């Protein structure tokens, strides 16, 4: 029999073999979707570069199926492993911002879900998580400008315009990755995955809960999100001024060309689908 993944049945920070499988699945799927979008062209509109994706609906749908801290953490880890280490462009300190901001944004947003069968609520929560991530990154980027560790686009006699220029980039990501390639496709994908993916990992779908969306637990997670932002900013600033602490930069893509991007794509696909196939065989045995 499957095991319920509800947060009420165990601590949100507990970690067992089921959490490990969820972590690996989310990590590899997010790495796969991120690297696929790296192969897509960038368009220019009015001098503003617009990228297609990333296809956030994959991460949105799978993470919100399981709603554990480890599923949230797997999103930035997938980007680091498949989008940085395997292509030879990794900085340990530079990775901390994403680990904190992305993980905590999703960890807070998923606490708002009361009815996991309500697709509109699921899509809205996924959109909120991505929006929180981009807003946090916006504040951090502007902060780096004000402390002088990075030069950002701004009118020389009106530095405050950096808020608008960086804010526009954040807004484009919120609309693109959060809505067009996130929440809207999630409306279609999530209900088709729910009840089908969990049994393959030996779990039951998460049940809903009574009460308001915003609870005491949600408040604690929101406070943690806000409290950790200064830490993310401090580490990012240190990364800009002191290097990456642990750096791995053989720059495989620059050496071997864009075709090298297929390496992390193939590896992430093998990991994700290999895990599902393995669990499916175990379930049928």
Confidence band for 8, pLDDT divided at 50, 70 and 90: very low
Query: How much is the pLDDT for 26?
Result: 95
What average pLDDT does the chain have? 86
Nearest to 60 by CA among 246, 189, 227: 189
Separation between Cα atoms, residue 161 and residue 49, nearest integer Å: 19
Whether 43 shows a pLDDT value over 60: the answer reads: no
**Who's near 160: CB < 8 A, 6+ residues apart?**
154
CA angle 160, 147, 231 (to 5 degrees): 110
Query: How much is the pLDDT for 9?
Result: 39
Backbone angles phi, psi at 110, to 5 degrees: -70, -20
Please state which of the ranges 33-47, 184-198, 240-254 shows the lowest mean pLDDT.
33-47
For residue 52, how many C-alpha atoms fall within 13 Å in the half-sphere facing its CB?
10
Q: Which residues pair with 49 in a beta bridge?
A: 44
Whether 176 shows a pLDDT value over 90: the answer reads: no
Backbone angles phi, psi at 246, to 5 degrees: -115, 115
| Enclosing H/E stretch for 49 | strand 48-51
Please state which of the ranges 1-5, 139-143, 224-228 shows the lowest mean pLDDT.
1-5
Please state which of the ranges 111-125, 146-160, 242-256 shows the lowest mean pLDDT.
146-160
Q: Which residues pair with 51 in a beta bridge?
A: 42
Residue by residue, DSSP assigns 227-282 as: HHHHHHHHHHHHHHHH--SSEE---HHHHH-GGGGHHHHHHHHHHHHHHHHHHHHH
Q: Give me 36's structure tokens.
A: 């696929």
Q: What mean pLDDT do residues 106-115 have?
A: 96
**Who's near 52: CB < 8 A, 6+ residues apart?**
37, 40, 41, 42, 43, 176, 181
Cβ-contact 126, 64 below 8 angstroms? yes
Backbone angles phi, psi at 91, to 5 degrees: -130, 120
Residues in the chain: 285
Whether 92 shows a pLDDT value over 80: the answer reads: yes
Separation between Cα atoms, residue 191 and residue 169, nearest integer Å: 31
Confidence band for 153, pLDDT divided at 50, 70 and 90: low
* Sign of the alpha-carbon dihedral angle for 66, 72, 77, 78: positive
* Cα–chain center distance at 91: 18
Q: Give me 250's structure tokens.
A: 């053989």
pTM value > 0.75: yes
3-state secondary structure of 39: coil
């Amino acid at each position: 029999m499957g095991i319920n993944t509800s947060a009420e049945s165990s601590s949100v920070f507990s970690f067992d073999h089921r959490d490990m499988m969820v972590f690996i699945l989310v990590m590899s799927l997010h790495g796969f979707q991120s690297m696929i979008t790296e192969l897509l062209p960038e368009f220019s509109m009015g001098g503003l570069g617009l990228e297609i994706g990333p296809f956030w609906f994959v991460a949105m749908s799978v993470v919100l199926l399981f709603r554990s801290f480890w599923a949230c953490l797997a999103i930035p880890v997938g980007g680091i492993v498949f989008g940085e280490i395997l292509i030879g462009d990794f900085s340990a300190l530079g990775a901390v911002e994403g680990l904190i901001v992305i993980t905590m944004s999703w960890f807070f947003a998923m606490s708002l879900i009361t009815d996991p069968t309500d697709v509109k609520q699921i899509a809205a929560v996924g959109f909120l998580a991505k929006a929180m991530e981009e807003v946090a990154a916006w504040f951090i980027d502007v902060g780096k400008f004000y402390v002088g560790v990075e030069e950002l686009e701004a009118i020389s006699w009106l530095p405050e315009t950096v808020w608008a220029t960086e804010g526009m980039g954040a807004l484009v990501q919120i609309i693109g990755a959060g809505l067009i390639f996130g929440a809207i496709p999630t409306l279609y994908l999530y209900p088709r995955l729910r009840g089908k993916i969990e049994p393959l990992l030996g779990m039951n779908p998460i049940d809903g809960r009574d009460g308001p969306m915003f609870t005491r637990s949600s408040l604690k997670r929101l406070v943690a999100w806000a409290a950790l932002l200064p830490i993310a900013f401090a580490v990012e600033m240190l990364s800009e001024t002191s290097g990456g602490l642990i750096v791995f930069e053989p720059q495989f893509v620059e050496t071997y060309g864009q075709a090298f991007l297929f390496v992390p794509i193939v590896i992430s696909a093998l990991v994700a689908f290999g895990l599902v196939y393995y669990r499916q065989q175990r379930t049928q045995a």
